[in-house]
Structure 1
């Protein structure tokens, strides 16, 4: 069954409008898929098949995301993320305050903590530093959010898993490929935050008193806190390093992230002496992943609609007639889909599910397509119709207007990574 491209566009537009009107994103995406399929010419039974097929296509990602919840739960609930963040900020000192905050956000997100949670964890530290150094809250949030974006594209988080699985790649392959764009993102973050350090309202004691800062006790040592992320990174990199160095023994280590990430979480909890709390950490991680999984299912449904329609073929024709390189379809798809849903993970799922075949048809390599979609999805994923905008604004005690002021600078960080990724994998290493 092939659905008309008009139905696919109507379904996608309806889903976006419903999300903007605060309908639960899962229902918005699924309703858009159903209405779009019916308008596109599908029967009731065919519509069910389109939705079911679409949701089935994301089940591999869902399983890996749930597995990643163990590592995320251990890092967040044990206090390991806080320990690592404090160590980075303290070691670099106040002279490099904005760099230390951006680097902390990058590393904490890179080891598997959600970017929004990273900002919430680091917000009290940032406000403390900001008060002492007389730094603006805009600069502080740009440092945290930009650093988090850089870490997010090289992390075992749901968005990276979704981008890798969308093109049948290993998670570690994409994390390695995204590393240089991430470094450029970190550099752009520090430059922008430095330029903004005296613009806008200066952080004060009132901001610290206004936000909820949970009392953290019995934090693990830095050495034990680093065990879980180090184990995860080492195990994920064994196979790519073996391929790079042509070491046959290492290339035979083909263990999926579904095994590696929970294992790293378990080893990390034991190293911190918190084995008794492992079940609680896993439960907390699972709860945090539930919303992500549901949104992935909704995104899979509307992705099934678009994949079943003539829309991708029409987009290819449009790009061909416009005269621009087909390479640009990948970053544009990532930017638009993430901006429409105000979510990196959902944007990646929609972009890969809807346009992967069209992008590959232009001769783009799978790894290049994944990098360009993934980095593109970080450009305008912080828009007000998403949770990230509000959660991070509240963490920094910012008004709606103040939070809006940071969006262009956050987008500039994402755009920097997108440009670097597109140049590298769209034109140099294509």
Structure 2
């Protein structure tokens, strides 16, 4: 039996989930509890509530499968030392004269090849501390560069957020990756500019900020060669881009190459392992990658449940009515939803899965294309996803030994990087 819940019940359920997240309840449980309470106070019976929550969770299963596949690539890149090798090669290649650019670019590329943004920052942070201590660069500037570069890489990567927003708008992740390239470059440029301006503001980083474990790992790790380290990410990117490139150039053979990321990412990972001579470690690396995906998958399931509440209510319809009444272009709903949902959950991935599942139909009803909606929503989700009720805030603070107050000072600069990418995405897809 279908039921349409009241918009206020959906809002209360969402508000409850946010409050519980702020109170440090496990994010998955907070999202599911918000969905259940919203359904019940909205008039759904116990049975109908179960159906709504289950249906919402089932709607993200396609995303979950692809995210698990992405875990194979993430595990291989991190555990084999390939990501570390790529980062060091970039920094060494550009030299100390372009230190801030090299650090931001290294984090961007590591994130772009499938490593999670907090892990990408953790990988590059020891290198940043070494370089920053020699050049007397502040912690503030270093984290602006690392976080800004990571945000830029995150929107052009086969990471959970890209997979989630692509699935939400029924397009291929490669279309989102290509569409986000120009906004990502602009975000990188803004991060480098801001970090350069602030490089002598605040406490200067020293080698004492490099923990003993990180120092030992960065020195003792036997890293593969650069060429072998690049095999997995290059293979993945090339295979992911074959179909969209074929569509752009009207090459029939490539247009028919419609192999899903579920196949491509593990295949590229295995080829990369073989190239690095570490094929025997495939079980260890894939297990490590899976472990890193568990929290993401659980959050996606919780977000799907809450999305089921919102789509079962008339909240999307009411928002569309408000947009019409205010005279705001309907195409603006995608980036606005991305900004608000990511801020509420302090997570890019959760923000886009909530935004696309809850408001996807309404956004497309305005005539916005799937690619435009996905690119602008994902860019919007990077604006204020670095808030203290999320893990990213604390992981990145720890990476370069920042206090809570020092970390808070970075948030406005991260906001500017995300806002730059969002505005550029809107200009490219919604204006011109």
User: Residue 209 of structure 1: CA displacement?
Assistant: 4.0
Using the alignment, how far apart are the partners of 2:400 and 2:22 within structure 1? Answer: 24
SS of the residue 1:290 aligns to: helix
SS of the residue 1:347 aligns to: helix
Aligned to 2:40: 38
User: Residue 214 of structure 1: CA displacement?
Assistant: 4.7
User: Residue 210 of structure 1: CA displacement?
Assistant: 6.5
Listed as ranges, the matches of 1:102-117 within 5 Å are 102-117=104-119
SS of the residue 2:25 aligns to: coil
TM-score for both structures, normalised by structure 2: 0.98
Using the alignment, how far apart are the partners of 1:270 and 1:335 within structure 2? Answer: 41
Listed as ranges, the matches of 1:314-353 within 5 Å are 314-353=318-357
Aligned to 2:196: 194
SS of the residue 1:201 aligns to: coil
Aligned to 1:156: 158
- Give the unaligned 5+ runs of structure 2: none
Using the alignment, how far apart are the partners of 1:233 and 1:139 within structure 2? Answer: 30
Aligned partners of 1:26 and 1:299 also within 8 Å: yes
SS of the residue 2:210 aligns to: helix
Measured against aligned partners, the alpha-carbon deviations of 1:325-363 in whole angstroms (never above 9, x if no partner) come to 111111110000000000000000000011111111111
Measured against aligned partners, the alpha-carbon deviations of 1:284-321 in whole angstroms (never above 9, x if no partner) come to 00000000000000000000000010000000011111
Listed as ranges, the matches of 1:354-365 within 5 Å are 354-365=358-369
1:308 aligns to 2:303 (yes or no):
no
Aligned to 1:204: 206
1:74 aligns to 2:76 (yes or no):
yes
Aligned to 2:236: 232
List structure 1 segments (4+ residues) > 4 angstroms apart after TM superposition. Answer: none
Using the alignment, how far apart are the partners of 1:100 and 1:260 within structure 2? Answer: 29
Aligned partners of 1:347 and 1:377 also within 8 Å: yes
Measured against aligned partners, the alpha-carbon deviations of 1:193-237 in whole angstroms (never above 9, x if no partner) come to 101101100011221247744524221000000000000011011
Match of 2:125 among 123, 126, 129: 123
Aligned partners of 1:224 and 1:268 also within 8 Å: yes
Measured against aligned partners, the alpha-carbon deviations of 1:160-183 in whole angstroms (never above 9, x if no partner) come to 000100000011111000110001
1:8 aligns to 2:10 (yes or no):
yes
Match of 2:398 among 394, 399, 404: 394
- Give the unaligned 5+ runs of structure 1: none
1:385 aligns to 2:392 (yes or no):
no
Using the alignment, how far apart are the partners of 1:172 and 1:60 within structure 2? Answer: 16
> Measured at CA, do residues 13 and 210 of structure 1 come closer, stay the same or move farther in structure 2, by a change above 3 Å?
farther
Using the alignment, how far apart are the partners of 1:183 and 1:164 within structure 2? Answer: 20
Aligned to 1:176: 178
1:259 aligns to 2:259 (yes or no):
no
Aligned partners of 1:54 and 1:301 also within 8 Å: yes
